[in-house]
Amino acid sequence: MSTTATHCPYCALQCAMTLDPDSAAAAAQGFPEVRARQFPVNGGGMCRKGWTSAELLAHPSRLTAPLLRGPDGVFQEVSWDTALDRMAGEFRTAQHRYGRDGVGIFGGGGLTNEKAYQLGKFARVALRTSRIDYNGRFCMSSAAAAANRSLGADRGLPFPVTDLDDAHTVLLLGSNPAETMPPFVQHLQHAREHGGLIVVDPRRSATARMTDDDGGIHLQPTPGSDLVLLLGLAHVVLHEGLADLEYLERRTTGVEAFRTSVSAWWPEQVEQVTGVPAERLRRAARRLARERRGTYVLTGRGVEQHVDGTDTATAAINLALLLGLPGAPGSGWGTLTGQGNGQGGREHGQKADQLPGYRSITDPAARAHVAGVWGVDPEELPGAGIPAVELLTALGTEGGVRCLWVNGSNVVVGAPDTAAVTRGLQALDFLVVCDLFLSETAEYADLVLPVPQWAEEEGTMTNLEGRVLRRRRAVDPPPGARDELWIMAELARRLEAPGIFSPDPQEVFAELARASAGGTADYSGIGWAALDAGEACYWPYPAGSSTGTPRVFLDRFGHPDGRARLVPVRARAAGRAVDPSPRAHRREPLHGPGTLTLTTGRYLEHYQSGNQTRRVASLHGARPESRLQIHPATAAALGIRDGAAVELTSARGRAVALARLSTDIRPDTVFLPFHYAGDRTANRLVSSDAVDPVSSMPEFKAGAVTVRAIDPEERTR
């Protein structure tokens, strides 16, 4: 095959690359040579995950045939006809016994737009089940909910990422792009050089350290207190007369109610709750308000993966609105989408409550439009389903899903309370997993279906800017692998489903475009030829448009009146209201005596559950172990030495790691990466009992744990 221009399979930056399967280097190494390609988001650079991504194409552990578990519990290779006949039969049996919602589908934020779209269609048309959700519920749901209620639309970055190149001030909340998406850092350089990079993180992360030498600001609050910090910043902006009153009058509603909601959070009060010095807070607020043009507020998972994540993301938008940033030329608010197709994956029907085009499944007009494209009666479409945590918690129970199909997700590592999820998978009547490798989730499956990787498939992705990109096939998949679109088409035929289920991604994209027409995420004007030509296609891109919308909100916001909403939010900690009154000058401890606050996150070398990156020798060699970042003073008090084996215990479970002593972490906080499996799985410690009431996001970033040193032998008990 010829050299192919495509994009990295990992994060939502979607760095451009070229794959050459015929070069001398490719011949020597047995997989295509990767070259970085000049593109606005990555500027010709890539991180080490991108550089090594092609190694997985020739990995010896690739799945190459369907695997069916026999009566003896052992997997046996079977034909595709056998596999799909069995799968369709199990779907029928489960729905006959338990009703249509007895079958569920769990998707992934790394699937192409076409696969995400057709998966939602398959659930609602072929199975007529409401039980579909995806792992983006654990990623972008709080930011999406906040953007929808405040701005009327959810697009991660409502502007091209290159707009940041001229920024003089950037407030970065709960994100560590220096390790999670390194090529993004180049877009922060101008702000950094002008002393305007402000990083909010309880750790002195690689990104936070970028503030050291250039006059930037690192705000280091206690985990879970970001909302109070944002209320304090808003208080300073209002109290010191720094708000853009003309913008607020012209483009927003709710100013007076919002002003009242932050009145109690003066900087000294905020300091008592967050630990951030009052004068440092004032300095950050004044810097943000110095000049509107060139100022941006960006959020990430660190402030969103909480039980109050939607309110915290809303508070960040409120602050940006006070400053007059969203929709103003050369400034703005945005959130850094994580998964490769985190944006597109949540737009076209994988979410429990959505239809294509970012439409609500409960909206009669939306149901009628989409049903018309699908060729079915709107009354036959199911209603809203249940979010991922609830879906997974009820697996195998009475009234819960009894037959589950997992696509592109490794819930045994990535979901909260993984021990409970594992028990749920074991209680299922039948579990089907589509994957590249025998993941930790696939190991519990009754049927495993091998599918192509990124460089073996055709389709589209939508990056963090809302830019739709072409994913191109560079090499052939293993002979036994089959594309998910083909799998859905074959299953739909076996289930005698109405409508058309095409295995051709170009045909599916054309249908997706029609189904999205008139919706918030309107792709109806985007053609395959334009994508192949490399045109910059940003949604919304309605039919008849010639440019799409690189910058949304310039003229109006997504609400019917065109105005943004300042939404008052109330600070809470560990499920309790925080008392802002003068008598409460010291915050009630987040947890009981002897406990620490656990926050989780990523390593530079690994991605998500690690199902892919832990198989790349150089990446695994750089980070073979899960290491607990702990402050030296805390470690000394607990008798823990650097490199020692430690056990973490929460109300949900136990995990083990090796200690890494560092002054980059607060003494009351510990950090654990979430890429590892088995007894090193960080999400063993995360509860699924409490979730954000709006987004259904679990509390990933501020859990209570105890830590103790253990003998090395105890690590494997």
- Looking at residue 579, its pLDDT comes to 38
- Looking at residue 716, its pLDDT comes to 57
Q: Where in the chain is the domain with CATH 2.20.25.90?
A: 4-58
Span 164-189, average pLDDT: 96
Q: In whole angstroms, what is the distance from residue 114 CA to residue 84 CA?
A: 21
pLDDT tens string 540-568: 999 988 889 999 999 999 999 999 999 99
Class of domain 141-335 (CATH, top level): alpha beta
Task: Say yes or no to pLDDT of 630 above 80.
Answer: yes
Task: Say yes or no to pLDDT of 525 above 90.
Answer: yes
Task: Say yes or no to pLDDT of 370 above 60.
Answer: yes
* Cα 28 to Cα 23, 378, 457, 458, 613, distances in angstroms: 9, 56, 24, 26, 22
581 against 703, higher pLDDT: 703
Span 383-387, average pLDDT: 97
Q: In whole angstroms, what is the distance from residue 28 CA to residue 624 CA?
A: 26
Q: For 8-22, 156-170, 270-284, 533-547, which range has the lowest pLDDT when averaged over its residues? A: 533-547
- Looking at residue 1, its pLDDT comes to 52
591-716 is classed CATH 2.40.50.140: no
Dihedral sign computed on CA atoms, order 533, 117, 106, 463: positive
Angle subtended by helix axes 484-494 and 113-121, to nearest 10: 20
Mean pLDDT of all residues in the chain?
94
Span 87-116, average pLDDT: 97
- Looking at residue 134, its pLDDT comes to 96
Q: Tokens in use for 145?
A: 């909910």
Task: Say yes or no to pLDDT of 631 above 50.
Answer: yes
pLDDT tens string 607-620: 999 999 999 999 99
pLDDT tens string 491-509: 999 999 999 999 999 999 9
pLDDT tens string 297-331: 999 999 999 999 999 999 999 999 999 999 999 99
- Taking the CB of residue 264, how many other CB atoms lie within 10 A of it? 17
pTM summary value: 0.95
The DSSP-derived string for 279-325 is: HHHHHHHHHHTS-STTEEEEE-HHHHSSTTHHHHHHHHHHHHHHTT-
Q: Where in the chain is the domain with CATH 3.40.50.740?
A: 67-135+341-451+483-506
Span 27-53, average pLDDT: 95
- Looking at residue 592, its pLDDT comes to 52
pLDDT tens string 443-491: 999 999 999 999 999 999 999 999 999 999 999 999 999 999 999 999 9
Torsion of CA 45, 50, 55, 56, to 10 degrees: -160
Q: How confident is the model at residue 712 (pLDDT cuts 50, 70, 90)?
A: confident
67-135+341-451+483-506 is classed CATH 3.30.460.10: no
Class of domain 4-58 (CATH, top level): mainly beta
- Looking at residue 47, its pLDDT comes to 96
Contact at 8 Å (CB) between 366 and 359? yes
Q: Where in the chain is the domain with CATH 3.40.228.10?
A: 141-335
- Looking at residue 581, its pLDDT comes to 40
Q: In whole angstroms, what is the distance from residue 367 CA to residue 517 CA?
A: 13
Span 496-523, average pLDDT: 97
- Looking at residue 283, its pLDDT comes to 97
